[in-house]
Structure 1
Amino acid sequence: MHCPFCRSTDTRVLDSRVAEDGTAIRRRRTCPTCEKRFSTVEQMQLVVCKRSGATEPFTRDKAVAGVRKACKGRPVSEGDLARLGQVVEDVLRANGRAEVPAHEVGLAILGPLRELDAVAYLRFASVYKSFQSAADFESEIALLRTDPTVSGPGHDGTSAPDALVPTPQPTG
């Protein structure tokens, strides 16, 4: 570790503590050359393994960007999206692996998004799960109707899953 003041490479750790719910280590250091003290935070680098075999660092912003598209026109705030991004990152870090398959990132998004807004969830799930027909939407809506954790009322006060399917009108 280089001293940020004199750039000496000979620094000494005075104290180490677990920080941020166990996901990082905070170290208090001193430089014997200039005698100044400084702190460092070490955090596990989370890497996403793509289907192509390529890897890239996990970025919360990239995960949220896909969700943002699904939430377009929905009553979901930037704060809601930021919290969702934090939940997704926490879930991925909690599994204890440094490398996470891209598929698991999508799965980590689906749960919190389902609770945040059912319509946005269906939009995201339709792409993520590669819906091929209206039957795929119907079966996912049926699952949403039986899930008590789903929220996100429609604009007219009905629950979001019911607002997705038109109610048959009597004729005659």
Structure 2
Amino acid sequence: MDLPYEHSRFLDRTLDYIKNDARMLGLAVAGSCITNTMDEFSDLDFVVVVSEAHYEQVMLERKQIASALGNLLVAFTGEHVGEPRLLICLYDHPLLHVDLKFVTRSDFQKRIEDPVILWERESVISDEFKKSSPIHPMPDLQWIEDRFWVWIHYMAVKLGRGELFEVIDCLTFIRAIALGPLSLVTHGQLPR
């Protein structure tokens, strides 16, 4: 895996920490590392696999764990993106965005992608991969069709009133929810 220098240094520190914590069963990386599109502006998307027996304790300590990995500026959980297991972190020296998603081995039964395994204790991640395949949610065409023209009407009314920021918000929403995913699927890509 070809990573920018600072990302590679952070990954090495993270691996050292995870390997030395007996509660941890593995470390994988997702995001742009999977698609080989990582550059100096990318974040690191780690998946930290925790033993079931220690999961609750680790979830309570995840900010302390994040602090041990580098100069942590801020960290918050990912409920706003529908992922409460996620800890979104910003580090300094270097300034780096890192996502730490804490899961148990059984969480890999339902996944949208196969992250790259960086380290695992006794092949726990590899074994879970063999039990199931990733399934990425695809756009629901009928759901989009049922709503699309109402969205367009709503946007036209806002445009008629001169509420341009509302129009921009609506265009952004339609691109993210419908047009972007549909275009990607049409071209053989995942809808993200």
**TM-score relative to the length of structure 2:** 0.26
More helix by share: 2
More strand by share: 2
Structure number with greater CO (CA < 8 Å, separation at least 6) is 2
**TM-score relative to the length of structure 1:** 0.28
**Larger-Rg structure:** 1
